Amino acid sequence: MSGHATYQPQSRFMQWMERRLPIGGLVYSSFVAYPTPRNLNYWWTFGGILSFMLGVQIVTGIILAMHYTPHVDYAFNSVETIMRDVNYGWLLRYLHANGAAMFFLAVYVHIFRGMYYGSYKEPREVLWILGVIIYLLMMATGFMGYVLPWGQMSFWAATVITNLFSAIPGVGEPIVTWLWGGYAVGNPTLNRFYSLHYLLPFVIAGVVVLHIWALHMVGQNNPTGVEPKKDTDTVAFTPYATIKDTFMMIVFCIVFAWFVFYLPNYLGHPDNYIPANPGVTPTHIVPEWYYLPFYAILRAIPNKLLGVCALGASIAVLAFLPWLDTSRVRSARYRPLYRQFFWLFVAVCLLLGYLGSQPPEGGYVIAARICTVYYFAHFLIVLPLLGLFETPKPVPNSITESVLHGDVPLGASAPPPAKA
């Protein structure tokens, strides 16, 4: 499994360089010769899409920061100046705001793909946990970015979320005051959010490097969940994965552009075009769509402290997924029961998202409670038990065998399914 070829610098300069800083060799082994399972489907292209989106966010963000003023009196109007008077400022801002949404869209596909194919299982636990850390950092970054335009939703989202810390017994209030830099959400809060919003993407980039490093250590999982065993199980990253990833990246850009150019405010809330006003509370304070499932979990629990704990636990539980899933088979392809539960879990997450957008009253609260219980039950009851009771279907001996002869191992009694 050393890969398909080793790096031979062609030019005199690169030969000279390679003896001093072997960066050519690093790039070659990581992005050219790196063996990638030959049976990867399009769900595996979202890692590349996510790296691309991080780049888009950093580039547009740095340019926006050149024009933005982080001050409670000027922030709203400075964003409007970007929209009106900065050359293509409207494009930069819409790219950045919708880019955040697309970033989350891609990360959710990426996470669910990992769950479906068991990509978190041994030996990929650290790879998975690094992913959970990236997701947490993304949530913090996205939240602070949403505060910066200093509209009504910015202000009230900041108030609601920072107030969650006041639920901590004893030290809650001092912590909130410390977070705010005052006795209410104000200019110091905006300033530190801006500072952190600029910092965290680079922390994300750092953890992404670790994530990719860990990935290159253990190799990619694949739809069969069977580790590559010989050279025919894999193809070289370039050109095979490169062209496939690039194609999907452009397809993803079509969706991205659809929102940026035709529905730039669809994913936002109209109230955020009203300047922040501490004296007027919006009728419904709702976060951005990508936090809605967690918001539903938070509000499903009547006790504030327990609600905050549930919110934290709903994300923290992801980090323990490698040990909660007791099945020895990775891919849901060979786990008929898990596959049903997986889609039920996806449906529950989507429904939680819808419930998070609705006012916390009547049937919505009851539905949110049922979904919250199921969300945790999926991780804490279904996954541990499923591994013990489920009879998995026979797993192919190798990737090549699965590609050549269908998904049934040679010698198995079941007739091979017709290849699509």
Partner 1 sequence: MTQQRTILALAIVGAFALPLAADAQQEHSHETPTPPRVSWSFAGPFGHYDQAQLQRGFKVYREVCSNCHSLSLLHFRNLADPGGLGYSEAQAKTIAAEYKIKDGPNDQGEMFERPGRLADAFPKPFENDAAAKAVTGGALPPDMSVLAKARGYERGFPLFIFDIFTQYNEEGPDYIAALIQGYREKPADMKIPENAHYNIYFPGQMIGMPPPLQNGQVTYDDGSPATVAQYAQDVAAFLMWAAEPHLDARKRIGFQVMVFLIIFAGLLYFTKKKIWKEVELHPEMLEKKS
Select the residue interacting with partner 1 from 261, 281, 302, 416 (CB under 8 A): 261
Q: How many CA atoms lie within 13 A of 192 on its CB side?
A: 12
Lookup result for tokens 């003896």: 19
Q: Which is nearer to partner 1, 253 or 317 (CB)?
A: 253
Q: Which is nearer to partner 1, 122 or 231 (CB)?
A: 231
DSSP state at residue 261: I
Angle at 366 between CA 365 and CA 370, to 5 degrees: 115
Select the residue interacting with partner 1 from 283, 388, 411, 415 (CB under 8 A): 283
What is residue 28's three-state secondary structure? helix
- For residues 188-227, which are near partner 1 according to CB under 8 A? none
Q: Is the dihedral of CA 125, 223, 209, 192 positive or negative?
A: negative
Q: Which is nearer to partner 1, 126 or 367 (CB)?
A: 367
- Residue 279 is a binding residue for partner 1 (CB under 8 A): no
Residue 16 carries which side chain, given as an amino acid letter?
Answer: W
Q: How far apart (Å, rounded) are the C-alpha atoms in residues 91 and 101?
A: 15
Q: Which is nearer to partner 1, 15 or 41 (CB)?
A: 41
375 Cβ contact partners less than 8 Å away, ≥ 6 residues apart: 293, 297, 314, 345, 348, 349, 352
Q: Which is nearer to partner 1, 11 or 283 (CB)?
A: 283
CB 282 to partner 1: min, Å: 11
Q: Which is nearer to partner 1, 240 or 320 (CB)?
A: 240
Angle at 79 between CA 74 and CA 81, to 5 degrees: 90
CB 302 to partner 1: min, Å: 20
- For residues 368-397, which are near partner 1 according to CB under 8 A? none
Residue 13 carries which side chain, given as an amino acid letter?
Answer: F
- Residue 42 is a binding residue for partner 1 (CB under 8 A): no
Q: How far apart (Å, rounded) are the C-alpha atoms in residues 100 and 72?
A: 23
Select the residue interacting with partner 1 from 169, 170, 363, 415 (CB under 8 A): 363
Select the residue interacting with partner 1 from 24, 29, 38, 319 (CB under 8 A): 38
Burial string for 77-99 (b: 16+ CB within 10 Å, else e) reads ebbeebeeebeebeebbbbbbbb
Stretch in the footprint of partner 1 (CB under 8 A) among 12-20, 260-268, 323-331, 379-387: 260-268
Q: Which is nearer to partner 1, 134 or 286 (CB)?
A: 286
- For residues 332-351, which are near partner 1 according to CB under 8 A? 339-340, 343-344, 346-347, 350-351
Closest to 158 in 3D by CA, of 133, 135, 132, 191 = 191
- For residues 143-182, which are near partner 1 according to CB under 8 A? none
Select the residue interacting with partner 1 from 123, 188, 270, 416 (CB under 8 A): 270
Q: Which is nearer to partner 1, 274 or 309 (CB)?
A: 274
**DSSP letters for 364-408:** HHHHHHHHHHHHHHIIIIIHHHHHHH--PPPPPS-HHHHHHH-SS
The contact set with partner 1 (CB under 8 A) reads: 38, 77, 80, 83-84, 90-91, 94, 230-232, 235, 239-240, 243-244, 246-247, 250-251, 253-254, 257-258, 260-266, 270-271, 273-274, 283, 339-340, 343-344, 346-347, 350-351, 354, 358, 362-364, 367, 400, 403-404
